[in-house]
Each structure stands twice: as C-alpha cells, then as structure tokens.
C-alpha cells in the first residue's frame, strides 16, 4: 500500500514536488477497483467513467511493473 500513500502525498500534500520518473512495483493503483474507489472518493468521473491521472509533479513517466497470476 506504499504506492497509494506515495500517490496521495504527491497529489495532495506535495503537488509542486517534481519527480522525473516514478517506478512502482505491483502497485494496486493499476487495478480498476482501486481506481474506482479513488474516483468515487474524489468525485472524479466523466461521461466515459473513471478519470485517473498522475500527480501533477510527475514530469515524465510513471511506470508500474505488475505481474498478474496465471
């Protein structure tokens, strides 16, 4: 759950902190159910569904390395 804490810190507490590349491993932020909960909590839906964006300080890329079982 560290990536969720990092997401919240970078998005809400330190939005002006610049991070060139953020790499996370196995972050649950890539799961639709987690994105839906964050969207519902922050009321960030549009007519296409969930809007999930990177924190404003991430200037280049955010890579999440995830391996699903199977």
Residue 48, CA distances (Å) to 20, 44, 45, 52, 53 in order: 29, 11, 8, 12, 14
- H or E segment at 37? helix 32-42
Question: In this predicted structure, what is the pLDDT of residue 9?
Answer: 92
Question: In this predicted structure, what is the pLDDT of residue 50?
Answer: 61
Report the predicted TM-score, pTM, of the whole model to 2 decimal places.
Answer: 0.70
What six digits make up the tokens of 32?
Answer: 């639709």
Structural domain spans, the chain: 2-65
User: Across-strand partners of 22?
Assistant: 62
Q: pLDDT below 70 — which residues of the chain?
A: 43-52, 68-70
């Amino acid at each position: 759950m560290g990536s969720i804490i990092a997401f919240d810190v970078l998005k809400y507490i330190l939005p002006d902190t610049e991070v060139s590349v953020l790499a996370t491993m196995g972050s649950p932020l890539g799961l639709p159910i987690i994105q839906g909960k964050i969207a519902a909590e922050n009321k960030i839906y549009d007519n296409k569904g969930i809007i999930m964006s990177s924190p404003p300080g991430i200037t280049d890329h955010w890579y999440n390395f995830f391996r699903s079982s199977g």
